[in-house]
Amino acid sequence: MAGFGSTISQPHVAIIPSSGLGHFIPFLRFAALLLRNGCKLTLIITNPVVSTAESELISRFLSVFPQVTEKKFTPLPLNRSTVNSTDPFALQWETFRKSAHLFTPILSSLSPPLSFVISDVTLVSPLIPITQSLRLPNYVLFISSARMLTLLAYFSSVSESKSKTEDGSFLFGNVFDIPADIDPPIPSSSLPPPLLNSNTLFAKIFMEDGPNLMKLNGLLLNTFEELEKQSLEMLTCANIKGKPLPPIFSVGPLLPHEFEGKESFETLKWLDDQKEKSVVFVGFGSRTASSNDQIRELGKRLLLSGCKFLWVVKTKIVDKEDNEGFEEILGDDLFDKIKRSQNGLVVKWPQFGDQRINGEVIEKSEWVICMKSWGWVDNVLVKGEEIGEKIKELIGSQSLKMAAKRVSEEARKAVGAGGSCEVAMEKLLQSWKKKE
């Protein structure tokens, strides 16, 4: 059979994640799921990775799963003068894309021969001609929401129909006009700022990759039907420039695994020791670095709120540059007060593009207070008093707690026996068998 060398009883799958913990973690969680379903895996990693956290995560994964083959991919140096971006992770994506031809000898030389390739969405366009030439089925694991995938799928066709200013900024208006029934509509203010100008690297990647989604063999989404039923149904029926999207498999939510490290499970143990529904989680993702002033404002209000809290702090985009200690950032007085209160657990861990759109997903489920008026990161300093008001509103709202409990139960059902995740995985594996 063309494109297959291993027996279908144990398909050989190449996993190609991109840069950033927000990409690596779901990829490795899904890799663990494939291993549990009897697949042979080769993990292809760029050399070097951007952050220390990425490197440590990969090492732990390979230690837990020694049967996984690791292949290092060393890209060609990127001429940064030709790229309109200073984001280290976006630059890594572009380095990947410019060196994609180097994947050919890696993919073609693996033994036993590959059956399938699962890559990050940032590699869609450069990998497609390679997998087509090798006659390898090509899938993308999309680590964000179905709503964000909708934006990617339609971004090229919508933006091409819009006028631009002299500096390349799109004139989208108040709403991003997706020609499909998406509820609620996507406000233009929710688009990641780099997508608002056609000259940015992020916008160029979106423009190129969206139309190429139709050339994939399938899309694997880290979401579940109960959370995004309407968006998933819309994507299944989508018609983008006259073409449908490939089959969609909702394989989420992808659950934490032991390879994610001792600290993760120590944090969970601390949470288990707290009274149910008594802890506020404060975190902005693995990409967003807050200013020291904003961290101090947040710390003051968390302390005064009297609430138990789990606070994830990040001051630099790349952890290797994160040299300041938490005590230095907060100052001795505030640091000591938080420490003495015994109310909080602070985790130093390495807010970005898709967070507003993903926030709209959970806002629709009615278990979140979404403060869009606070702007994007670095745009404004939000005072502690305003943060404190929202913390009290969050903790005191029974309707939010009930909605959160409902979504939590739906997520548990999705990953349980016979749940939507298991059903999607079974459909995926059965579709692979049919390709024999």
Q: Are residues 89 and 230 in the same domain?
A: yes
164 token code pair: 């631009």
Rounded Cα–Cα distance for residues 232 and 223 (Å) = 9
Q: Are residues 314 and 243 in the same domain?
A: no
User: Out of 12, 87, 101, 120, which one is annotated catalytic?
Assistant: 120
pTM of structure: 0.80
Q: Are residues 141 and 156 in the same domain?
A: yes
pLDDT (0 to 100) of residue 320: 44
Domain-embedded: residue 4: no
Domain-embedded: residue 2: no
The amino acid that residue 206 corresponds to is F
pLDDT (0 to 100) of residue 347: 44
Domain-embedded: residue 288: yes
359 token code pair: 């926030």
Domain-embedded: residue 5: no
Domain-embedded: residue 362: yes
The amino acid that residue 199 corresponds to is N
Task: Look at residues 302, 253, 182, 248 and name the one whose alpha carbon lies nearest to residue 407.
Answer: 253
Q: Are residues 230 and 290 in the same domain?
A: no
- Cβ contact 182:150 at 8 Å: yes
Q: Are residues 189 and 306 in the same domain?
A: no
Where in the sequence is the domain holding 16, given as residue range(s)?
12-257+418-434
Q: Apex CA 37: angle with CA 34 and CA 42, to 5°?
A: 35
Rounded Cα–Cα distance for residues 16 and 128 (Å) = 13
End-to-end CA separation in angstroms for the chain:
6
Domain-embedded: residue 207: yes
162 token code pair: 């819009």
**What is the 3-class SS of the chain, one letter each residue?**
CCCCCCCCCCCEEEEECCCCHHHHHHHHHHHHHHHHCCCEEEEEEECCCCCHHHHHHHHHHHHHCCCCEEEEECCCCCCHHHCCCCCHHHHHHHHHHHCHHHHHHHHHHCCCCCCEEEEEHHHHHHHHHHHHHCCCCEEEEECCCHHHHHHHHHHHHHHHCCCECCCCEECCCCEECCCCCCCCCEEHHHCCHHHHECCCHHHHHHHHHHHHHHHCCEEEECCCHHHHHHHHHHHHCCCECCECCCCEEECCCCCCCHHHCHHHHHHHHHHHCCCCCCEEEECCCCCCCCCHHHHHHHHHHHHHHCCEEEEEECCCCCHHHCCCCHHHHHCHHHHHHHHHHCCEEEEECCCCCCHHHHHHHHHHCCCCCCCHHHCCCCCCCCCHHHHHHHHHHHHHCHHHHHHHHHHHHHHHHHHCCCCHHHHHHHHHHHHHHHCC
Q: Are residues 278 and 181 in the same domain?
A: no
Task: Look at residues 258, 254, 181, 238 and name the one whose alpha carbon lies nearest to residue 420.
Answer: 254
Rounded Cα–Cα distance for residues 300 and 383 (Å) = 10
322 catalytic per annotation: no
Chain centroid, CA 54 distance in Å: 14
Burial code (b: 16+ CB inside 10 Å, e: under 16) for 23-32 equals: bbbbbbbbbb
- Contacts of residue 397, Cβ cutoff 8 Å, sequence gap at least 6: none
Give the dihedral sign, CA 377/381/384/388: negative
Q: Are residues 336 and 248 in the same domain?
A: no
- Cβ contact 246:217 at 8 Å: yes
Number of domains in the chain: 2
Q: Are residues 180 and 314 in the same domain?
A: no
Q: Are residues 289 and 358 in the same domain?
A: yes
Q: Are residues 252 and 285 in the same domain?
A: no
- Cβ contact 376:416 at 8 Å: no
Q: Are residues 239 and 127 in the same domain?
A: yes
Domain-embedded: residue 82: yes
Q: Give the CATH number of the domain where residue 66 resides.
A: 3.40.50.2000
User: Out of 12, 23, 209, 322, which one is annotated catalytic?
Assistant: 23
pLDDT (0 to 100) of residue 204: 92
- Cβ contact 391:307 at 8 Å: yes
101 catalytic per annotation: no
Blockwise average pLDDT, block size 10, the chain, 436 residues:
47 92 91 95 90 88 96 89 79 87 95 96 94 97 93 93 94 88 83 91 92 97 91 89 93 88 70 79 62 74 76 58 51 53 43 59 55 51 66 72 81 92 94 80
Domain-embedded: residue 72: yes
CA dihedral 348, 88, 370, 420 (to 10 degrees): -90
pLDDT (0 to 100) of residue 364: 61
306 token code pair: 């009297």
Q: Are residues 90 and 203 in the same domain?
A: yes
205 token code pair: 């990647």
